[in-house]
Amino acid sequence: MDNRDTRRGSAWVKALALGMVAVVLVVAVVVLVQESGGGTVNPYAVLQGTWRRINEQYVLEIRSAAADGTLEAGYFSSGPVRVARATASRSGGATKVFVLLDDPVNPGYRGCTYDLVHDPAQDLLIGTYFQAVQGQRYEIAFERMK
């Protein structure tokens, strides 16, 4: 075996080692991305929690917030009121919440809605409540319960 064969063998071993290092790095990156949820951040996670209408006893509970804007929510007055739909969306940098109430047991809530915007500086949900039976809109705010 002459010097050229030794150099070729040495280059082959270096290339093999470099290839193995690359494979290990790719596998490590794939594992990290999978563990972090695919690298995406859920912009609606901040909405999760229990919110009480300021100066009122009405409570909006956002149990879960999916990255697609689907919210699992509950609403409580003197008792539970059925939430027909709850969604979150982004518009112009603002995080918005829409809640539709439709409770056959409490017909006074049928068709009532909340259109809210999250104020991250104050950690408030601010917006309007539409009382369908009266046909009235009210400016309201919810604060996060600690």
CA distance 104 to 143: 28
Alpha helices in the chain (DSSP H): 3-35
95 close to 80: Cβ distance less than 8 angstroms? no
In 3D, which of 75, 69, 64, 60 has the Cα closest to residue 95?
69
In 3D, which of 70, 75, 56, 63 has the Cα closest to residue 113?
75
Is residue 73 domain-shared with residue 120, that is, in the same domain?
A: yes
Query: Which H, E and C letters describe 118-131, residue by residue?
Result: EECCCCEEEEEEEE
Is residue 17 domain-shared with residue 50, that is, in the same domain?
A: no
Tell me what the mean pLDDT of segment 9-17 comes to.
Answer: 62
21-67: pLDDT as tens digits:
555 444 444 434 444 455 689 999 999 999 999 999 999 999 999 99
Total of domains in the chain: 2
pLDDT of residue 111: 97
Is residue 26 domain-shared with residue 59, that is, in the same domain?
A: no
CA distance 103 to 51: 20
pLDDT of residue 29: 41
Is residue 19 domain-shared with residue 90, that is, in the same domain?
A: no
62-95: pLDDT as tens digits:
999 999 999 999 999 989 999 999 999 999 999 9
98-107: pLDDT as tens digits:
999 999 999 9
pLDDT of residue 16: 57
pLDDT of residue 146: 81
Rounded to 5 degrees, what are φ and ψ at 67? -60, -20
Tell me what the mean pLDDT of segment 121-133 comes to.
Answer: 97
Instruction: Give residue 87's Cα distance to chain centre.
Output: 10
Residue 129 predicted with pLDDT over 50: yes
The one-letter amino acid at 132: A
pLDDT of residue 40: 80
pLDDT of residue 2: 60
Please report where in the chains the tokens 């068709």 appear, as a residue.
111
Is residue 97 domain-shared with residue 67, that is, in the same domain?
A: yes
Of the ranges 3-7, 72-76, 85-89, 132-136, which one carries the lowest mean pLDDT score? 3-7
Query: Looking at the DSSP assignment, which residues form a beta bridge with residue 81?
Result: 75
Q: Which domain holds residue 21?
A: 1-40
Q: What is the CATH number of the domain that holds 56?
A: 2.40.128.30
Is residue 80 domain-shared with residue 136, that is, in the same domain?
A: yes
